[in-house]
Amino acid sequence: MGELARPSVVGEILERYGLRLSRSLGQHFLVDGNVLRVILGAADLSPRDTVLEIGPGLGTLTEELCALAGRVVAVEMDRRLAAVLPEVLGHPRNLVLVEGDALRLELARFFSLEERVKVVSNLPYNVATPLILRLFLELPQVEVMVVTVQRELADRYLAGPRFDAYGSVSVKLQTFCEMHRICNLPSTVFFPPPRVDSSALRMERKASELSCEETAAFFRFVDACFSFRRKMLVNALAGGREPYRPRSQVEEALQQLGLPRACRAEELSRQELLTLFRSLN
């Protein structure tokens, strides 16, 4: 395991092809075999699985995914890396390499509705959140995600009410999935080392309480609730140039639900926010 996942090997490949990595694209490759084992163990892959990997880079993770899964769809934005990756990996037959931006591509066309899809990726830090949300929204085939993200982001994803890290992204992700932190990762397990530490997370999709349309409406409500996170919820929803609802309506809904008039969004659980959303709509 981990034939490619060594700093010396990655350095040699970069030199061989005359490649220079881009920090702006979040190109930090996993080069620790022990961490690879942990991530792959959490993904629990079999030949029945299709894997989606965002940002395969030089294939340090892709190599192992191709050995374990039935099919691997790898989406690489950097055309230089996309050009050399098949050769580096030895042209595996079960690899489908897609060149493009995962936030812009119509990803659904690469999967059948019957496929069981798992996302296993070392995600680029700067687009991790919109990517995860988009995958849950647009790919119902995705059952599990095992991803590495910036540790600070992981703290936000996992946070509950009354914690500083709790916010709109916590509520949104917890709407889609149950998740836990597999482990924290120091910068030294990546090449080149990023300036921040990371966390590996496992996210498992749960049954949806909302339709697609309701989900979009609920997320707009959540954004409104946390738009002024230090303000009382009444002021966040009823203030500003474009109030979400009239003050009297918000106050009445809070009273009916037994919530304090002076409560803030950061004090309410996802379920309480969902109940309030339904009351107001």
Cα 275 to chain center, whole Å? 25
Residue 60: helix, strand or coil by DSSP? coil
State the Cα–Cα distance between residues 54 and 72, nearest whole angstrom: 11
- pLDDT at position 1: 65
Query: What tens digit of pLDDT does each residue of 205-222 get?
Result: 999 889 989 999 999 999
The residue with greater pLDDT, 73 or 124, is 73
Q: Is the pLDDT of residue 130 over 80?
A: yes
Q: Is the pLDDT of residue 2 over 80?
A: no
- pLDDT at position 203: 98
Q: Is the pLDDT of residue 3 over 90?
A: no
In the predicted model, what is the mean pLDDT of residues 121-134?
94
In the predicted model, what is the mean pLDDT of residues 20-29?
80
Q: What domains lie within the chain, and their CATH numbers? A: 7-205 (3.40.50.150), 212-280 (1.10.8.100)
Entry pTM: 0.94
Residue 104: Cβ within 10 Å count: 8
Query: What tens digit of pLDDT does each residue of 163-199 get?
Result: 999 999 999 999 999 999 999 999 999 999 999 999 9
In the predicted model, what is the mean pLDDT of residues 87-96?
96
In the predicted model, what is the mean pLDDT of residues 124-136?
94
- pLDDT at position 22: 77
- pLDDT at position 55: 94
The residue with greater pLDDT, 227 or 110, is 110
